[in-house]
A and B are shown apart, each in its own frame.
Chain A
């Protein structure tokens, strides 16, 4: 049987991952150790959590530029709540995530109700949140609390020298939740429909506005959660943290095989996309002789490749559509 063409980008992502990982193992003996895998999952946890939210946004045909600032803002807010107000970190987590989710919902309402380009609204959100960070705190502050230490100390050992950290575990749960929401709920399918053809979705009776609001709410939630993981992972908060992470997240989504124009893609692809970016970074670190900026060059090259690939795959039927109308 013919493989469904919807899976081509995902297969390409997996092929790239296998190739890169295989190259790593062939070049560096240590690469096959589970330590590398565990580190990949932990170091990229916040990025992948953000990218899961971004996947929904991009699937719906939108973009969310506020997620990087959101990560910094949540970190700074949490640090203030824990150190300034003496709250338990868990309470601070709940409050911060609630604030982040509400802010996402707020952007979603503006985008949906006023029918404004998500690019411009989330750009405003990006500046606003980054500014808010400095309103709370100008400097890097440590988040000192036994709970944070416990979080970093949590380890599920893997065979070999590696382990799965709490951050990695949270990330894996997020990915699974994302897959379920995208694939097994009407909301998830409606997101695909809106990204595929918004006008048709409207005529098919899909609640377009409500779905778009929920998409940005979800992205707000996931990026706030990523902010929590990032703050715990670094045990500190810094107003200039996570600058440009929104672009890394978009890159992870696209390398993961999601169509940048929306309507096609998989949450699990985003996971692999994030891991690919991590593997490239690790490879360059292992090599030692290469400048770390080579990561950006590699990711840029991959993005070129994936976007052209997507175009080739979707050309047959988007072309047909253009011909019909």
Chain B
């Protein structure tokens, strides 16, 4: 590596500002030809913003991007592609209904007298795949192949465009171990051919398996660029999370006997799904807060979704007081008294066009069934109570939820579950993207909920938060539960250790 120190892509002082958010600030990034360079950081660290600035999805607000020493100003991904910067996204951006050959050759088919020569086009496609050692029937629809093969086809297309720089944005998110090995072999071969590869992933073992250098971003700023071999994993995690390893005293998890037997018992036994989550076993009881810690992509969200039935588990069962619970769909879960506040509330949680009152009543109405509508006056009363109890800042209960701030939207979702009096509530990143004041409110609420006999599972990447309120912490890593901490064991140190181990 040492003789190839020439930068193919270099970013200097890049900045990108959205209204009210500095998504990227003064970031430097260097990619050498013939290296695989990991780009790491938690959600919101600025990884995807940096990629979008490089590929021209977003125009940059500050700084320069140099390709082979020349400043470039791509306006859209097509421009960047023409310049030699190809991107393969986590979601395969090809057309599943078209054949493999067509996906590779769209807009680049060989024409004869203005008409497509299929023979030549297909042999070109075959040749492009052979460079990756992929021998498949190029005439079959792309969608009939596994996501891994689709991913490789996307890479073949990217490489065939005479790419100098290949950006792989979480390409391994939906691949299994065998498929990842194939991908890594191909990445290694491309590296040997002198390509510069940017590799975005959440799996730290993959970072250590394949990359040469690591750049870490946090909160839109550069933390640093490191040589992979010289950076211990625990240091890397500290860089990513940016925690001072100081002890935060916690106040809840001393007397464990307090809540045993008091509430309902929820047992999660070997709940798992192929490619998504290794079987997880976890017990909770009423009045207890269990924290779910782990880096992004560790399986936190996936576990929540499996418990709630939003994704169907292949294995395992969830028991409520010893009785198995049907987890065929969120509806069934809601009927059983489960609730989930999802991570991405815009997409999965609130219905932005509906009013605060309607959003609050959704789960309760869902549980009762649509044949027994709740009287308007009763709805009004419940909604007003909740607005008052949770301190939701809204002029009245009829304002569309989409017009409220993030913290208030989160409170509306909480209110929705509270009125349905759940037995077991899952909060996925309850404090993401909300201001400090609302943050404290929500933590306080979480504790109050629990004292009321509710079993709570709170997934969060904010370790401070977990340490502050959890009675027990399940630590997730690489889509499996790696450790469970109780009582005095719950410290940021111990959690980070468990993640890194």
Chain A residues proximal to chain B, CB less than 8 Å: 4-6, 180, 183-186, 189-190, 192-193, 195-197, 199-201, 203-206, 259, 263-264, 314, 316-318, 320-321, 323-325
A-B contact pairs, 26 of them (CB 8 A): A4-B139, A6-B141, A180-B115, A185-B114, A186-B107, A186-B116, A189-B98, A189-B109, A189-B116, A190-B107, A193-B95, A193-B106, A197-B95, A197-B97, A200-B92, A201-B95, A204-B94, A204-B95, A205-B106, A264-B141, A314-B143, A317-B144, A318-B143, A320-B146, A323-B147, A324-B91
CA distance A272 to B115 in the complex (A): 25
Counting CB contacts under 8 A, is B281 at the interface?
A: no
Partner of B143, one of A189, A190, A203, A317: A317
Q: B452 to chain A: closest CB distance in Å?
A: 38
Q: Which residues of B contact A6 (CB under 8 A)?
A: 99, 140-141
A4 contacts B140, C-beta separation under 8 Å:
yes
CB atoms of A189 and B106 under 8 A apart: yes
* Closest A residue by C-beta to B161: A205
Which A residues are in CB contact (< 8 Å) with B102? 189, 192-193
A76 CB to nearest chain B CB (Å):
36
Chain A residues with CB below 8 A from B107, complex form: 186, 190, 204-206
Scoring B residues 80 to 114 as 1 if CB is less than 8 Å from chain A, else 0, what string do you get?
01000000010111111111001100110101001
Q: How does the 8 Å CB contact mask read for B119-147 relative to A, with 1 for contact and 0 for none?
A: 00000000000000000000111111011
Contact pick for A186, options B109, B118, B139, CB 8 Å: B109
CB distance from A68 to the nearest CB of B (A): 28
Bound-state CA distance A189–B125 (Å) is 15
Residue pair A5, B93 in contact (C-beta under 8 Å): no
CB of B402 closer than 8 Å to a CB of A:
no
A196–B96 contact, CB under 8 A?
yes
> Which of B93, B98, B144, B174 is within 8 Å of A192, CB to CB?
B98
A residues near B81, Cβ cutoff 8 Å? 205
**B78 at the A/B interface (Cβ < 8 Å)?**
yes
Q: Is the CB of A263 within 8 A of B95?
A: yes
Chain A to chain B: the 6 pairs with minimum beta-carbon distance, closest first: A317-B143, A263-B97, A196-B95, A196-B97, A184-B115, A200-B93
The residue that B98 contacts in the complex, of A4, A185, A193, A321, with Cβ under 8 A, is A193
Chain B residues whose C-beta falls within 8 Å of the C-beta of A317 in the assembled complex: 96-97, 141-144
- B residues near A183, Cβ cutoff 8 Å: 116
> In the complex, which residue of chain B has the Cβ closest to the Cβ of A321?
B96
By the criterion CB–CB under 8 Å, are B96 and A184 in contact? no
Task: Tell me if B143 and A321 are in contact (CB < 8 A).
Answer: yes
How far is the CB of A46 from the nearest CB of chain B, in Å? 28
What are the residues of chain A within 8 A of B93 when measuring CB–CB? 197, 199-200, 203-204
A203 touches B97 (CB 8 A): no
**Are B98's CB and A263's CB within 8 A?**
yes
Which residues 152-193 of B have a CB within 8 angstroms of A? 157, 174
Establish whether residues A264 and B97, one from each chain, have CB atoms under 8 Å apart when the complex forms.
Answer: yes
A4-B141, A200-B93, A323-B147 are known; give 17 further A-B pairs, CB within 8 A: A5-B140, A5-B141, A189-B109, A190-B107, A192-B98, A196-B95, A196-B98, A200-B92, A204-B103, A204-B157, A205-B81, A206-B106, A259-B97, A321-B96, A321-B143, A324-B174, A325-B91
Task: Tell me the smallest distance from the CB of B93 to a CB of chain A, in Å.
Answer: 4
Chain A nearest CB: distance from B91 CB in Å?
4
What's the count of A-B pairs with C-beta under 8 Å?
Answer: 100
Selected from A185, A192, A320, the residue in CB contact (under 8 A) with B95 is A192
What is the CB-to-nearest-CB distance from A212 to chain B, in angstroms, rounded to a whole number? 15
CA distance A204 to B115 in the complex (A): 20
Contact B97–A192 (Cβ < 8 Å): yes
Any A CB within 8 A of the CB of B77: yes
Kindly supply a per-residue 1/0 record for chain B positions 252-280, scoring 1 wherever the CB is within 8 Å of any chain A CB and 0 otherwise. Answer: 00000000000000000000000000000
Compute how far the CA of A263 lies from the CA of B103 in the bound complex, rounded to whole angstroms: 12
B39 to chain A, nearest CB (A): 20
The distance in angstroms between the C-alpha atoms of A259 and B98, with both chains bound, is 13
Nearest A residue to B144, CB-CB: A317
* B97 engages A200 (CB within 8 Å): no
Q: Which residue of A lies closest to B115 (CB)?
A: A184
Query: Is the CB–CB distance between B144 and A316 below 8 Å?
Result: yes
Give Cα distance in the complex from A27 to B115, angstroms: 45
Residue of B nearest to A319 (CB): B143
Residue of A nearest to B173 (CB): A324
Least CB distance, A203 to chain B, in whole angstroms: 5
User: What residues of chain B lie closer than 8 Å to A185, measured between beta carbons?
Assistant: 114-116
Question: Would A324 and B92 count as touching, CB distance under 8 A?
Answer: yes
A contact residues around B92 at 8 Å (CB): 200, 324
From known contacts A189-B116, A317-B141, infer whether A200 and B94 are also in contact, taking CB-CB under 8 Å.
yes
What residues on A are CB-neighbors of B118 within 8 Å? 184
| B173 CB → nearest A CB, Å | 9
Cross-chain contact of B96 among A180, A186, A318 (Cβ < 8 A): A318
Taking the closest CB of chain B, its distance from the CB of A316, in whole angstroms, is 7
CB distance from B18 to the nearest CB of A (A): 22
Instruction: Please give, as numbers and ranges, the residues of chain A lying within 8 Å of B91 by CB-CB distance.
Output: 324-325
- Tell me the minimal C-beta distance from A30 to chain B in angstroms: 42
Contacts of A321 in B (CB 8 A): 96, 143
- List the A side residues contacting B115 at CB < 8 Å: 180, 184-185
Q: How far is the CB of A5 from chain B (nearest CB, A)?
A: 6
B142 partner residues in chain A, CB cutoff 8 A = 317
How far is A183 from B107 in the complex, measured between Cα atoms in Å?
Answer: 14
Contact between B96 and A197 (Cβ–Cβ < 8 Å)? yes
- Chain A residue contacts of B96, Cβ below 8 A: 196-197, 317-318, 320-321
Please measure, in the bound complex, the distance between the C-alpha atom of A190 and the C-alpha atom of B95, giving whole angstroms: 10
Cβ–Cβ < 8 Å partners of A189 in chain B = 98, 102, 106, 109, 116
B329 CB to nearest A CB, Å: 15
Report B37-83 residues with CB < 8 Å from chain A CB. Answer: 77-78, 81
Taking CB atoms, residues of chain A closer than 8 Å to B174 are 323-324
A184 to B116, CA, bound (A): 5
Q: Is the CB of A203 within 8 A of B77?
A: yes
Least CB distance from B497 to A in Å reads 33
On chain B, the residues within 8 Å of A186 by CB distance are 107, 109, 111, 116
**Within 8 Å CB of B77, what residues of A?**
203
Within the complex, the shortest CB–CB distance from A56 to chain B, in Å, comes to 15
Closest chain-A Cβ to B230's Cβ sits at a distance in Å of 36
Cβ-closest chain A residue relative to B89: A203
Q: What separation, in Å, do the CA atoms of A205 and B80 have in the docked complex?
A: 11
Min distance, Cβ A103 to any Cβ of chain B, angstroms: 27
